[in-house]
Structure 1
Amino acid sequence: MPVVPLKYYGRWIAAGILIILFAGLVVSMVTNARFQWPIVAQYLFDESIISGLLATIWLTIAAMALGMILGTAIALMRISQNPVLGSIASGYLWIFRGTPLLVQLIFWYNLSALYPQITIGFPFGPSLGSFDANRYITVYVAALLGLGLNEGAYMSEIVRSGLNSVPVGQREAAEALGMSSYRVMMRIILPQAMRVIIPPTGNQLIGMLKTTSLVSVIALQELLYSAQLIYTANFQTIPLLIVASIWYLVLTTVLSIGQHFLERYFGRSDHRQEPVSSHDDVDNDSARSA
């Protein structure tokens, strides 16, 4: 019997309405002179904007790398059987997930008010060295510490959920073969857990890119702060905000594409060739005999 496809009239009507609304929005943005698109084009590749863009990219990569390293370490501490390590990891999460990121950034920026001299050593013992907090805790270091340490708390839960998604039998089978704990983690557990870790990590990376705009409160000249400095001088607020938004959209698009290919790479074991059905085998045998 012929297969007649269903006619989804509701879907086509909804799609038509959305297309009309989207076209109206685009036309209004293009024809509205208040958007001042010539000024947007003028400042899109401005030297100050590009400098802020590079600072945003650098801060995103550095803070995310620090967060991933700390998150992995905290996740391993949480699943450890050692109660001391588990308690320290829980305390870390309690502090950095329980306070706003903006407060943490301001705190790190003003750390020298609490510790003018930071000493490294043993409690009630010899000192290994000290340094001036005002000199070394710069605005870049404060931003990196604030973003990286906060991100580590959230990445630890992502990594822990990925590790827990691997069946226990995988570890037991590897240990039965005589593999060390390090090899079991690196060769057996982590490769399988990456399929669960990659998607939320990609979301965290995109979120980190946009969260870097908070460092403008400590006067770090990233993308948004660079735009703010310009429109404070020329009063072109909307065009400069559009410039910053365009660059944020470009970067998030690039990161989304990279996330897509990473998910395909770590999920390649799921794409198996479909088995040939017995009906197809009969047809092939008939064709050969003919």
Structure 2
Amino acid sequence: MNLVGKIGLGIVVMLVLIATVGPFFIAPEQVTFQDLDRSFDPPSWAHPMGLDENGRDILARVVYGARVSLTVGVIVVAISSLVGMLLGLVSGYVGGWVDRFISGFWFNVFLAFPGILLAIATVAFLGASLVNLILALCVIGWVGYARLIRAQVLKVREYDFVTAARALGASNARILLWHILPNAVQPLIVQASLGMAGAILAEASLSFLGLGIPPPTPSWGAMLSDARTHFASGWHMTVFPAGMITLTVLGFNLLGDGLRERLDPKQRPR
């Protein structure tokens, strides 16, 4: 992996450690603890990221928000990639009217709507909750994985080793699982890394609009929404959550670029 990928991997590992052990060591203070007499306190030794409008420790809320964002990202990417992989495999391998129905109809139906607007409509209809947020992001996220896998399957199914396996009497399930999928899944790994960044950014956007996880559970997007009217009196309320969103998206994008170069023989340095 190149230097850019290693930097992205380092950022992702750091974020995972913050989300898993951070609430116990970095910010042991409760996210709901309020000290109204010290509202809008700037960063200090006792509170490195300051306090918000309700006197809550921003560091503790940022750390817990990392756990929420990574949880949403992992679940959304896992479900979306699994659904997209299954549909892409079937569409690309079977072909014919099945391919026309899946790729020519279902893909275009979901691609016809702007992704974030479809997610907003889904959450607004079902109500704001963690489950509905994940469902909304999965609804808009599976199409990209399905199109990617379908394109790979259309290429790999014409290789000689697939033709040989078919001539030897191998079943369609065996050909798909043992011959086509291992040779078509590499781009999916890169797409999943980039999809993590997109899912986290989408979760922050929906939380900013009030359609994410309900309070008092901390979320980076909800923290930005609360801070937008207090920038003059509490600049730190905006800077630190926005910085964490930027760092997280940057880390996963750099990791995706590194994986793409690592897994693609054409991009490897000689």
TM-score (norm 2): 0.64
Matched, 1:74 2:87: yes
Identity of aligned residues (%): 14
Within 5 Å, give how 1:169-208 maps onto structure 2.
Answer: 169-208=160-199
Within 5 Å, give how 1:115-264 maps onto structure 2.
Answer: 139-166=129-156, 168=158, 169-216=160-207, 217-221=209-213, 222-230=219-227, 232=229, 236=233, 238-256=235-253, 258-259=255-256, 262-263=259-260
Q: CA RMSD in A?
A: 3.5
TM-score (norm 1): 0.60
Q: Tell me if structure 1 keeps the 8 A contact 2:187–2:260.
A: no
Deviations 1:126-183 (A, max 9, x none): xxxxxxxxxxx65222211211111111211111122223261231122223332222
Within 5 Å, give how 1:29-48 maps onto structure 2.
Answer: 41-42=49-50, 46-48=59-61
For residue 103 of structure 1, the aligned residue among 117, 126, 139 is 117
Which has the larger Rg? 1
Letter in 1 for 2:133: A
Letter in 2 for 1:98: A
Matched, 1:83 2:97: yes
Counterpart CA distance in 2 for 1:208 and 1:109 is: 15
Structure 1: 4+ residue segments shifted above 6 A: 36-40, 268-271
| Residues matched between the structures, number | 214
For the residue of structure 1 that corresponds to 2:63, the secondary structure is helix
Q: CA deviation at 1:218?
A: 4.0
Look up the match of 2:77. Answer: 64
* Unaligned 5+ runs, structure 1: 1-35, 113-136, 275-290
Q: Tell me if structure 2 keeps the 8 A contact 1:213–1:224.
A: yes
For the residue of structure 1 that corresponds to 2:170, the secondary structure is coil
Look up the match of 1:283. Answer: none
* Unaligned 5+ runs, structure 2: 1-41, 52-56, 214-218
